[in-house]
Homo-oligomer: A and B are copies of this chain.
Amino acid sequence: MQLIDGKAVSSQIKQEIAAEVEQIVKNGGKVPHLAAILVGHDGGSETYVANKVKSCAECGFKSSLIRFEADVTEETLLAKVRELNDDADVDGFIVQLPLPKHISEQKVIETIDYRKDVDGFHPINVGRMSIGLPCYVSATPNGILELLKRYNIETSGKHCVVLGRSNIVGKPMASLMMQKAYPGDATVTVCHSRSKNIQEECLRADIIIAALGQPEFLKAEMVKEGAVVIDVGTTRVPSTVTKSGFKLTGDVKFDEVAPKCSFITPVPGGVGPMTIVSLMRNTLLAGKKAIYK
């Protein structure tokens, strides 16, 4: 069993990006600039955004954090989005989700200029990904592809089971794994809350991508010998052991599943760190205008 070390890979990618940025600047190019809009003070969102800002620094990017209180109106938020769309210095930006209930997330996402949508949530980017055109691929699926690549994991003709059909992980993951590409070219099965016989489906899988958000859902008896298991789950489960009072728990019962795997990602330290680094990769692409002019 080989542990997929997302932390190590992400740290290496950040170094690669930083080296490229240095080169760009040396050649008189522009420092990539990521802006992030944060609404309210949700603990999780604060942490994510702080980590994104920190990662920008590590990559040599410029970053801007724009804060609004939780009672900001949708109109004010949309006006800021439009301002960032028009700001030539901003190469890409994100609006940290979730947003307060009085604001339509979909409206915000669709207001973002797709050419600056480094989160890859705009329908144009989602559609282009499905069609197989160059686009910003959303962070988590993008990070998983990169892990598969860096560990030279064979995917062509493999049976890949995706657990979950969310718009930000399950669906794009399925779409990417079936593309004519590497990683890709897999036979893909998507299971979800309505699926019967999930155990049977998983037992047939060469690659399992678990993104249900159900702590320790995937157990040893659901995994065949030699499978590759990618754990996307990050549920905060109360814990008496940690200082914070909770523990990030994946969708995989790691201790019993790991011995059966050829490759497995831990939680934390697997997919998580790759997510932010994917955003950094998209920001670099945006800075270079590599996807859209």
- A-side residues, CB < 8 A to B, are 106, 122-128, 130-133, 156-157, 159, 165, 167, 171-172, 174-175, 178-180, 185-192, 194-196, 201
Contacts and interface: CB of A to CB of B under 8 A. Distances in A.
Q: Nearest 7 CB-CB pairs, A to B?
A: A127-B127, A123-B127, A126-B127, A187-B195, A189-B189, A185-B194, A123-B128
A190 B167 contact: no
Contact of A196 (B187, B192, B196): B187
B187 A201 contact: yes
A187 B190 contact: yes
Given A123-B128, A127-B127, A132-B167, A178 B192 contact: yes
Contacts of A124: 123-124, 127
* Highest count of chain B CB atoms <10 Å: which of A128, A133, A189: A189
Contacts of A106: 133
A40 to B, nearest CB: 24
A178 B157 contact: no
A291 to B, nearest CB: 13
Contacts of A195: 157, 187
Contacts of A171: 130-131, 175, 178
B190 A178 contact: yes
Given A185-B194, A190-B188, A175 B130 contact: yes
A159 B174 CA distance: 16
5 contacts: A106-B133, A126-B126, A132-B167, A185-B192, A187-B192
B192 A189 contact: no
